[in-house]
């Protein structure tokens, strides 16, 4: 079982750290890891994202999968790999990005919104299907997509997810959630981040029994 597989089984919540400053990277990651997070994404439109990825990977890379979001080009894939990143998350589906990620043995998680896009992404080797933006997709849509997709396809619902909305999506067939501003904003101090991260993990764990 790979580190990604182990992380996904342990806790498939994805912490999206948009706007993270490298100077705070280790403190923020430490809070998240302490709460139980095992997958961390630093979007490429954050300040010096490769530095943050490198710092997090260097300290937590034995137990945490770290990578980049909003990855749009092959060159960005190469740069993330060089910084120690293991996952490539994108808002779209780009076959060149998929091929580069595969060549570097990285997990590719493209954004899709329809069954057509989902099947195309799986054909290109997607490890996880990022259902984005979730604000446009009700749990009923997830249920309908789950009914036609391969049973082993992994669905991560991303966009506007809160602790209160996760369970309806889980019941519909979502495997994972990408958590953005409801979890992290650059303006949040460490105490607020701790509360938010623990709240999400607790809500997710409780939902396993529903």
Structure tokens at 96: 């060149």
Q: CA–CA separation, 86 vs 53, rounded Å?
A: 10
DSSP state, residue 63? T
Q: CA–CA separation, 197 vs 84, rounded Å?
A: 24
Active site residue 59: no
Q: Which of 21, 41, 59, 194 is catalytic?
A: 41
Active site residue 130: yes
**For the chain, first and last CA: distance in Å?**
27
Q: Which of 21, 74, 130, 198 is catalytic?
A: 130
Edge-to-edge strand list for the sheet holding 155-158: 107-109, 87-89, 65-69, 39-43, 13-16, 176-179, 155-158, 129-131, 111-112
The set of catalytic residues is 41, 130
């Amino acid at each position: 079982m790979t580190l990604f597989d182990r992380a996904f089984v342990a806790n498939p919540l994805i912490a999206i750290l948009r706007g993270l400053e490298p100077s705070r990277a280790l403190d923020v990651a430490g809070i998240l890891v302490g709460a139980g997070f095992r997958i961390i994404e630093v979007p490429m439109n954050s300040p010096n994202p490769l530095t943050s990825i490198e710092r997090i990977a260097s300290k937590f890379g034995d137990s945490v999968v770290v990578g980049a979001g909003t990855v749009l080009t092959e060159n960005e894939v190469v740069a993330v790999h060089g910084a120690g990143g293991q996952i490539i998350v994108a808002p779209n589906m780009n076959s060149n990005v998929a091929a580069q990620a595969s060549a570097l043995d990285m997990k590719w998680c493209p954004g899709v919104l329809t069954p057509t896009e989902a099947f195309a992404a799986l054909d290109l080797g997607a490890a996880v299907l990022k259902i984005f933006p979730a604000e446009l997709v009700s749990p009923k849509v997830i249920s309908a997509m789950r009914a036609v997709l391969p049973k082993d396809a992994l669905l991560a619902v991303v966009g506007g997810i809160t602790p209160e909305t996760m369970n309806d999506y889980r019941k519909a067939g979502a495997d994972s959630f990408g958590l953005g501003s409801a979890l992290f904003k650059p303006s949040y101090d460490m105490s607020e981040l701790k509360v938010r991260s623990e709240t999400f993990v607790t809500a997710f764990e409780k939902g396993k029994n529903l």
